[in-house]
């Protein structure tokens, strides 16, 4: 794959939009809006998750492509316009990094921080809210001094990430939907402070969430065509 502007956008969108679940079959429509330097990027995708960890994402805007991955982070991105496939193998692409996974597996209790080597430093109550503070000595997270998670009615509503001086990132969870199998925030707003004078705002909105009621023609078992051409820069060697 040449590093044309079209294919460069294709790879950037994989990183921007990838971004959740742990049981049964679940699908949803997702719209992502990111604002930075007064520029707006809009991404639309349909997601399909299975209990075995297989995860299919059909991106429809601004460019159509498919991302097929699993819990191990073995991922393939397929561009139907050119019949090209990019192969990646990294935990970044694991289906367990998806937000829906956190809520279906009850990992939202700490968003998997303890599994990553964090320990809870403190817990306090402020009115109806519970605030938990996590820290770690791992060198992997040397730029993080602490992470705070705020809960209300046992559900997370806010997460803050700190360096040694300031908040570097805020995440708000809102518009919870209560389904028979799980409860999930259908709107997630993230503010990243890139510098003292600049920030990036990203909002994800989930809609049309379905559980287990699907036809055989759904994309849960989507297969990339065997004729697809394997392209760089992520060619397996």
Helices H / strands E in the chain, number of each: 2, 14
Residue of 209, 208, 207, 167 lying closest to 190 (CA atoms): 167
CA distance 110 to 112: 5
Query: Residues of 132-143 as b/e, b for ≥16 C-beta within 10 angstroms?
Result: bbbbbeeeebee
Digit-by-digit pLDDT tens for the chain (237 residues) are 444 444 444 444 444 444 333 347 889 999 999 999 889 999 999 999 887 888 999 999 999 999 999 989 899 999 999 999 999 988 888 888 888 888 887 888 899 898 889 999 999 999 999 999 999 989 889 889 999 999 999 999 999 999 988 999 999 999 999 887 788 999 999 999 987 778 999 999 999 998 876 666 679 889 999 999 999 754 444
Delineate the domains of the chain, giving CATH numbers in brackets.
Answer: 5-230 (2.50.20.10)
Q: Two tokens at 35? A: 């604002």
What tokens does 22 get? Answer: 């742990």
């Amino acid at each position: 794959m040449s590093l044309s502007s079209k294919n460069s956008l294709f790879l950037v969108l994989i990183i921007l939009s990838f971004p959740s679940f742990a049981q049964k079959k679940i699908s949803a429509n997702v719209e992502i809006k990111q604002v930075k330097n007064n520029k707006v990027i809009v991404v639309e995708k349909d997601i399909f998750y299975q209990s075995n960890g297989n995860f299919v994402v059909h991106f429809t805007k601004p460019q159509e492509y498919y991302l097929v991955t699993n819990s191990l982070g073995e991922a393939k991105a397929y561009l139907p316009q050119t019949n090209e496939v990019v192969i990646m193998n990294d935990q970044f692409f694991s289906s367990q990094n998806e937000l829906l996974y956190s809520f279906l597996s009850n990992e939202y209790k700490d968003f998997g921080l303890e599994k990553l080597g964090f320990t809870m430093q403190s817990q306090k109550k402020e009115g109806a809210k519970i605030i938990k503070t996590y820290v770690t000595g791992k060198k992997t997270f040397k730029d993080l001094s602490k992470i705070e998670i705020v809960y209300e009615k046992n559900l997370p509503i806010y997460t803050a990430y700190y360096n040694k001086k300031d908040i570097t990132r805020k995440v708000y969870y809102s518009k919870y939907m209560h389904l028979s199998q799980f409860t999930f925030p259908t709107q997630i707003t993230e503010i990243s402070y890139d510098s003292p004078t600049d920030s990036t705002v990203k909002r994800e909105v989930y809609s049309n969430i379905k559980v287990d009621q699907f036809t055989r023609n759904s994309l849960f078992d989507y297969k990339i065509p065997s004729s697809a051409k394997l392209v760089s820069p992520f060619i397996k060697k």
